[in-house]
Amino acid sequence: MSSADPRASETAEPQQRTADLQSDLQQEATQPTREGLNDTPNNNDESGVSPFKVVRDAAGPQQITAAQHIFEQQRARYPQATGEFSWLLSGLTLAGKIVAAQVRRAGLVDILGSAGATNVQGEEQQKLDVFANRALLHCLGHRGNVGILASEENDDPLIVLRDPERGKYIVVFDPLDGSSNIDVNVSVGTIFSILRRDNGDSQNPAADVLQPGLKQIAAGYVVYGSSTMLVYTTGEGVHGFTLDPAIGAFVLSHPNIRMPERGALYSVNEANADSFPEYCRRFLHWLKSGRDGTVYSSRYIGSLVADFHRTLLKGGIFLYPPTARYPNGKLRLLYEANPIAMLAEQAGGRATDGENRILEIEPTELHQRTPLMVGSPYEMERLHEFADMARSRR
């Protein structure tokens, strides 16, 4: 690739080790991606042929990048689409690559440990929390079609474009889920949800953000583990892409992910079991009893993205019930539960708060918490049988 090609710089890992994060992000985010995105949101040329180049491995078949897959999916569903939505999603993949580069360098640069502040949740912020949050705000804030950004780390939503005709999308995100695990090399992740900006009330952006999960037009996460993987849905199934460091692009590795009908794993913090609702305790006892002929194993990481990713691929169930300390649940409805629920349902699973479908809950607060039970149809059905029995005794 010629040195004059502006696409070359973005796919290389950020090499400049500097304390000036804003400078790093400016260098990364102001250039188009090597995945094939044009400089403008309109990705249709006059011939109607996709401008995205297929990456070919000399030793194997063609590889489909995330940018190409997103664009082709959008064009198939909406032939008259301008490519703006694809352009928005490319901002998320760019931010994911920037954060992944920092995660890989954790321990070599000053990115581990506490940032010395707390977020709106009252939780201690990690340095990587701050970095990831700023990376997402910067990459998405320069898309030209995002009106509002709402981060779990911030008190209030950020208005990027006041004109609702231009800033037609809302992106809600948890910049770094499970960040307290980064110091011990445990998988962490970024969770995102995309909504349409219906009201366009620049005086009260929170009103735009407070939409039920059913109104999400896309959701997904990036998990930073042994490899970096993007998993997303636009309402037409769930697809997974693995970051190939050789070409600097997310490549389709898990097309059309389906959650198994049932699994043999359950994921819950059983240290809190004494304060779980009775039906949850009974359900856990049933899982461990082997009464249906299945020997379940417990797997709990403490990072929602990592725990759900395993459940998505292997089946079973993930639970975060209400506890004495968090009677309304601990996970955030908008930033965590809604996008995870959309992914689960699109993959054939279920997600509830123990009674109600997560995607149907009407949010009343930006940082509203909720219990979350998500998993394969079989385990979710058994869980609700125990919940129904408990309610019938009241």
pLDDT on residue 212: 97
CA–CA separation, 189 and 303 (whole Å)? 8
CATH number of 280's domain: 3.40.190.80
Report the mean per-residue pLDDT for the chain: 82
pLDDT on residue 28: 41
Decide which of 254, 281, 314 is a domain's last residue: 254
pLDDT on residue 93: 95
pLDDT on residue 53: 42
pLDDT on residue 37: 34
pLDDT on residue 259: 98
How large is the average pLDDT for residues 109-135?
A: 66
Looking at the fold, whether 32 and 143 belong to one and the same domain comes out as yes
| Residue 191 maps to a domain | yes
- What is the band of 317 on the pLDDT scale with cuts at 50, 70, 90? very high
CA–CA separation, 265 and 318 (whole Å)? 9
List, for residues 146-203, the tens digit of each pLDDT value. 999 999 988 889 988 777 778 899 999 999 998 778 778 889 999 999 999 876 656 7
The more confidently predicted of residues 334 and 178 is: 334
Looking at the fold, whether 86 and 214 belong to one and the same domain comes out as yes
What is the extent of the structural domain holding 132?
8-254
Looking at the fold, whether 144 and 13 belong to one and the same domain comes out as yes
- What is the band of 23 on the pLDDT scale with cuts at 50, 70, 90? very low
**End-to-end C-alpha distance for the chain, whole angstroms:** 70
The more confidently predicted of residues 204 and 329 is: 329
pLDDT on residue 46: 32
pLDDT on residue 180: 78
Q: Give the burial class of 196: count Cβ atoms within 10 A of its Cβ; 0-12 exposed, 13-18 middle, 19 or more buried.
A: middle
- Residue 85 one-letter amino acid: F
CA–CA separation, 4 and 12 (whole Å)? 15
Looking at the fold, whether 338 and 240 belong to one and the same domain comes out as no
- What is the band of 17 on the pLDDT scale with cuts at 50, 70, 90? very low
pLDDT on residue 25: 44
Looking at the fold, whether 47 and 157 belong to one and the same domain comes out as yes
- Residue 24 one-letter amino acid: D
| Residue 3 maps to a domain | no
Check whether 232 has a pLDDT greater than 50. yes
- Residue 117 one-letter amino acid: A
| Residue 284 maps to a domain | yes
Of 1-15, 150-164, 301-315, 344-358, the poorest mean pLDDT is in 1-15
In the chain, the percentage of residues whose pLDDT exceeds 90 is 58
| DSSP-assigned letter for residue 13 | P
**Spatial CB neighbours of 363, under 8 Å, sequence gap ≥ 6:** 210, 211, 212, 333, 334
CA–CA separation, 45 and 35 (whole Å)? 17
| Residue 376 maps to a domain | yes
CB distance 12 to 248 below 8 Å: yes
Of 39-48, 61-70, 249-258, the poorest mean pLDDT is in 39-48
Looking at the fold, whether 216 and 303 belong to one and the same domain comes out as no
CB distance 132 to 176 below 8 Å: yes
How large is the average pLDDT for residues 326-349?
A: 97
Check whether 323 has a pLDDT greater than 90. yes
pLDDT on residue 134: 93
pLDDT on residue 190: 97
How large is the average pLDDT for residues 52-65?
A: 59
Looking at the fold, whether 223 and 97 belong to one and the same domain comes out as yes
| Residue 160 maps to a domain | yes
How large is the average pLDDT for residues 70-80?
A: 79
